[in-house]
Structure 1
Amino acid sequence: MGTVIRNPYTGERLATIAEYRADQVADEIAALTAEPPSPRDRAAVLSVAAGMVRRRRTEFSDLITAESGVCRKETLREVDRAAGNLEVAAAEAERLTGEAIPLSGAVGKLAVTIAEPAGVVGAITPFNRPLNQVVVKLAPALAAGNRVILKPSEKTPLTALLFVRLLEEAGLPDGTVAVVTGEPETVGGAIAASPLVDMVTFTGGPRAGRAVALAAAGKPVLLELGGNDPLVVFADADPATAAALAVDGAFATAGQSCRGVKRVLAQAGIADELVARIVERAKTKRFGDPGDPETDVGPVISEEAAARVTRRVEDAVGKGAKLLHGGGRQGTLVEPTVLDDVPADAELVVEETFGPVAPVIRFDDPDEAIALANSTGYGLQAGVLTHDVDLFLRVARQLRVGTVNLADGPHFDSPHIPFGGVKGSGIGREGIRFAMRAMTVTKTLTMPYRFGAAGKG
């Protein structure tokens, strides 16, 4: 018995993958027996893998588009991001250091800390960005010297399977990474609860994240559980720039990005012009066949997901929001949608809505903007547009999020900075260097400055 993987746009059957039982997952974990390579060897494997990903860019892009429905323009960028993350991890593999601490309270003593691999890392990844979401977990785990048991999304596992084969071709030792596929409750639960797994890194929804954390109780966890990210536009911002960031951030990956623009908060003095520009720009977005290189917005992952998006749009309109563009759907394809005057208590903006929707909420003053931005259970990232640095710093200090971007949207990212949130958005930080630290344990050695003095009275 297996799971059939289908193209979410055409319904075409792509493959049938295995559904692992809990005992089979345990066997795969037990087989992860490789000794950690040296930092130089880890760096070499990751560097070679980065080059291979770049050379096979079209192959990976085609597969991501086929199994996720994300349009080709974006999957090509995803492949480039994944290769870049591998290159950063390769460099960081040789920079993972400890520190020396002179012990002032113990004469003649020195402490040295060493960052050792956590051991076996359980990595559970979501359906959106099926290559890069895998890379941002495997690359730091391997750079830090760990072994990995990987469970990709049951909706988009094919890219992960291809990538792990590529790692093996790049020289990754046998017994370093295993991939297990199947139902989240069975496979993810077996990974999180396994006594042979030393830490768990998970990206997905809050409900699944809580289940993983419960199953992994007593182990370190790194949880990225989504966001409801605002783009806060003050009256002194440039409306053309704001509209571009709003539309690109809301419609990228068909709106299925945890750091995408989920809410546009517009101050009264700019709101009318901004909304008009957002609608104008939204009308230029081509939606349809994700395999067409001219398409900007492809389908969402399933008909169930598409129906949820349109239901929330209809609910917001019923509560007083103005539907200015879009709102329709055909199967898994949701039309890029713009709404104005969205009530702050509409489900569309209270919950994380994974779909190509740009909902505008108007505000009068900074205090109201801060209250609106903080009003959901999430706290991942935010973008703030203003030329007033004092205002930005005031707002940034009061926003309950992991990252605040000035002059950019919440969707800005870089492999060199920490990524993660507060409240319901999760625990811990990703970003290559920061994830590597989370995937190590600190061992402390204490010793005399002069070894010959040890044991002498």
Structure 2
Amino acid sequence: MATEIMGGRMLLAGEWIERTEQINVYNPENNEIIGSIPAGKAEDMNDAITLAQEGKEIAENLSIRERMDILNKAATYIEDNLEDFARTIALEGSKTINEARSETKRAAETIRISAEEARRLTGESINFDQMPGNTDRMGYYFRFPVGIIAAITPFNDPLNLIAHKIGPGIAAGNAVIIKPATETPLSALKMAEAFMYAGLPHKILSVITGRARDIGDVLIESKEVNMISFTGGMETGEKIAKKAGLKKLSMELGSNSPAIVLNDADLHEAAVSTTSGAFAAAGQNCLSVQRIYVEEDVYESFKELFLKEVKEVKTGSKLSESTEMGPVINEKEAERIEKWVKEATEAGALILSGGTRKGAHYDPTVLENVPESATLVKEEIFGPVVLLFKVKNLHEAIKRSNDVNYGLQAGIFTANVNAALKASKKLRVGGVMINDSSDFRIDAMPFGGIKGSGLGREGVEYTIKEMSEERIIAFKILDEDE
């Protein structure tokens, strides 16, 4: 089945172009072709970079009002075409139609927040006379754009993660070159369509599609690119950092997120919240709950409630209004998940629910008694699998939560303020969610992690700061009578 989604074209500096060689885009649910994209080559990316050098000057010279108007008009376009955007997300990716609608709304909101934050792109005065001998000086700083931003995005949030890079990038006055995931490029092209409709001047934006091996290094290594904003896996992030050279880096590299359930928690609420946190988007979320540490006194009670919730998760066709979880992104990923689970069970883990695969579908899966040495414990599963662990107390839960090379977000369920404060201080993560699972996020908050989870912070206000620089202006006041 073919879609009517700009198949066969990509955006080069504001111009829609075609290429003879195409890459098919598949629906992971049934492996049907739903569209195609140009197989961009090195020369296409070089052209995008060359034209972006002109585009960054155009972008910087847009007034704040012009940037705000373009961003708001793009957001309105997304809202007015919500079903079209949502269907695109659902067809090319793993999200159900309801999850895709939610992502579309969030993407529009992210763009609107970018418009609002553009007006707050301000500096402040500096008291130079705080240093002896400088009573005749005064000044301030203001923020200016970094120039050309390379935005490299994954498949799991193919529209809103684009919004988190293009919205702040334009708000700060930059040119942006997007390299979307090959599995889910159509949503990125839909976003580009919104900005072209909104009147974004040519040369500011490019969306270059193609295989990473053909165009990735050209973008990453270019000396003309001033910043790389990457969302993806830790291994790829490390490779990019080594190749990038002297340029700004912002990286969100995933996680292996823990949730802690204490004796005094509302167990039903904890079960509902962690079920959603583990299996939304088929677990393909950097914030997904992967490890749940439960105090031993309530372990069996929580497990019973949790398994009941998990077994009620409705799987099926992504476009069905009743489906709550669809497939993972492709059969290869489903096979990897299956392999990791098998490795754990062979080492003594027990499957409490799920553990079966059909094509790219992998059932919501819960394990216990998983050895600490298992890949499932140490690495990011990025799939619908969650592990249950019994712990003696909060101290043990925190220690084991921290015992991985990730630190994006964590959740803790408790009625004890002191316990919540202790966890907030001791958990080595970028965010702690109290009485919520690790996957809570709003698009205006600072978002990012430590250790292998990345560099810098996203969230519109914070991304705009990352995508701009401070410039100091100092006046020496001359005494005209001298």
- TM-score, shorter chain, exceeding 0.5: yes
Equivalent position to 2:238, from 210, 213, 218: 210
> How many angstroms does 1:319 deviate by?
2.2
Q: CA deviation at 1:16?
A: 2.2
CA contact (8 A) 1:250 1:357 kept: yes
427, 430, 435: which one pairs with 1:407?
A: 435
**What is the 5 A alignment of 1:358-397?**
358-397=386-425
After superposition, residues 253-292 of structure 1 pair within 5 angstroms as 253-292=281-320
- d(CA) in 2 for partners of 1:9 and 1:116? 45
Deviating more after overlay: 432-441 vs 192-201 = 192-201
- Is 1:243 matched with 2:271? yes
Q: Secondary structure at the match of 2:141?
A: strand
Hey, what's the Cα distance between the residues in 2 that align with 1:12 and 1:185?
24
**CA deviation after TM superposition for structure 1 residue 337, in Å:** 1.0
SS of structure 1 residue aligned to 2:276? helix
Match of 1:433 among 461, 474, 481: 461
Q: Distance in 1 between matches of 2:403 and 2:220?
A: 31
Contact 1:7-1:67 within 8 A present in 2 as well: yes
Q: Please list the CA deviations of residues 353-376 of structure 1 after superposition, one character each: whole Å capped at 9, or x if unmatched.
A: 011112111111122111110111
Tell me the amino acid that sits aligned with residue 227 of structure 1: S
Map 1:149-168 onto structure 2 (within 5 A): 149-168=177-196
Who is 1:197 aligned against?
225
The residue aligned with 1:127 is 155
Once the 2 structures are TM-superposed, how far is the Cα of residue 455 of structure 1 from its aligned partner? 7.7
Q: What does the per-residue CA deviation read over 1:84-132, in whole Å, with 9 as the maximum and x for residues that have no partner?
A: 1111111001111011001122112112111001111000000111001
Q: Which runs of 4+ in 1 moved over 4 A?
A: 454-457
State how far apart, in whole Å, the 2-side matches of 1:309 and 1:119 are.
40
CA distance in 2, matches of 1:239, 1:199: 45
Contact 1:122–1:200 (CA under 8 A) maintained in structure 2: yes
CA contact (8 A) 1:260 1:410 kept: yes
Give the corresponding residue for 1:89. Answer: 114
Report if aligned partners of 1:20, 1:180 keep a CA contact under 8 Å in 2.
Answer: yes
Displacement of 1:250? 0.4
Q: Which residue of 2 aligns with 1:169?
A: 197
1:293-337 Cα deviation digits (max 9, x unpaired) = 111110000111001111212222222222111110100000111
Which of 412, 416, 426 pairs up with 2:444?
416
Higher mean displacement: 15-24 or 82-91: 15-24
How far is 1:349 from its partner? Answer: 2.0
Tell whether 2:56 aligns with 1:56. Answer: no
Q: Report how far residue 381 of structure 1 moved.
A: 0.5
Aligned pair 1:30/2:50, yes or no? yes
Distance in 2, Cα, partners of 1:96 & 1:269:
51
2:13 corresponds to which residue?
Answer: none
For the Cα contact (< 8 Å) 2:42–2:215, is it kept in 1? yes
Provide the C-alpha distance between the structure 1 equivalents of 2:259 and 2:456, rounded to a whole number of angstroms. 23
Kept in 1, the 8 Å contact 2:150–2:229? The answer is: yes
Aligned partner (choices 103, 108, 112) of residue 78 of structure 1 = 103
**Contact residue 94 and residue 156 of structure 2 kept, 8 A:** no
**8 Å contact from structure 1 (residues 261, 410) kept in 2:** yes
* Offset, 1:249: 0.3
1:289 partner SS: coil
The secondary structure found in structure 2 opposite 1:40 is: helix
The aligned counterpart of 1:47 is 72
Amino acid in structure 2 at the alignment position of 1:161: L
Name which of structure 1's ranges 16-25 and 79-88 shifts more when overlaid on structure 2.
16-25
Q: Is the Cα–Cα contact under 8 Å of residues 223 and 427 in structure 1 kept in the other structure?
A: yes
| TM value normalised by structure 2 | 0.92
User: What is the Cα deviation at residue 226 of structure 1?
Assistant: 0.5
Check whether the contact 1:278–1:338 (CA below 8 A) recurs between aligned residues. Answer: no
CA contact (8 A) 1:223 1:426 kept: yes
Cα deviation, residue 208, structure 1: 1.0
Q: Tell whether 2:26 aligns with 1:6.
A: yes
Work out the CA distance in 1 between the residues paired with 2:107 and 2:115.
Answer: 12
Q: What secondary structure does 2:352 align onto? A: strand
The CA deviation string for residues 42-77 of structure 1, in whole angstroms up to 9 with x for no partner, is 111111111111111100110111100311111111
Cα distance in 1 for partners of 2:94, 2:403 equals 32
Q: CA RMSD in A?
A: 1.3
Aligned to 1:112: 140
Q: Which residue of 1 aligns with 2:471?
A: 443
* CA distance in structure 1 between the partners assigned to 2:320 and 2:179 by the alignment: 30
Superposed CA deviations along residues 149-172 of structure 1, whole A, max 9, x for unmatched, are 100001100110111011110111
1:220 to 248, 252, 256: 248
TM-superposed deviation, 1:343: 2.5
Separation of aligned partners in 2, 1:343 and 1:396: 27
Counterpart Cα distance in 1 of 2:272 and 2:77:
34
Change (3 A) 1:100 1:304: same
Shift of 1:185: 3.2
Helix, strand or coil for the counterpart of 1:31? Answer: helix
Query: Amino acid of the residue matched to residue 5 of structure 1?
Result: V
Unmatched runs of 5 consecutive residues or more in structure 1:
none
Question: Could you tell me how far apart the structure 2 residues matched to 1:335 and 1:241 are?
Answer: 23
TM-score by length of 1: 0.97
Residue type of the alignment partner of 1:185: R
Q: How far apart in 1 are the matches of 2:114 and 2:250?
A: 18
Q: Is 1:335 aligned to residue 363 of structure 2? A: yes
Aligned residue-pair number: 454
Q: Which amino acid aligns with 2:429?
A: V
Equivalent pair of 1:329/1:335 in contact (CA under 8 Å): yes
Structure 2 residue runs of 5 or longer lacking an equivalent are 1-20
Partner residue in 2 for 1:100: 125
CA distance in 2, matches of 1:433, 1:320: 46
Residue 262 of structure 1: SS of its match in structure 2? strand
- 1:282 aligned counterpart, secondary structure: helix
Q: CA deviation at 1:409?
A: 1.1
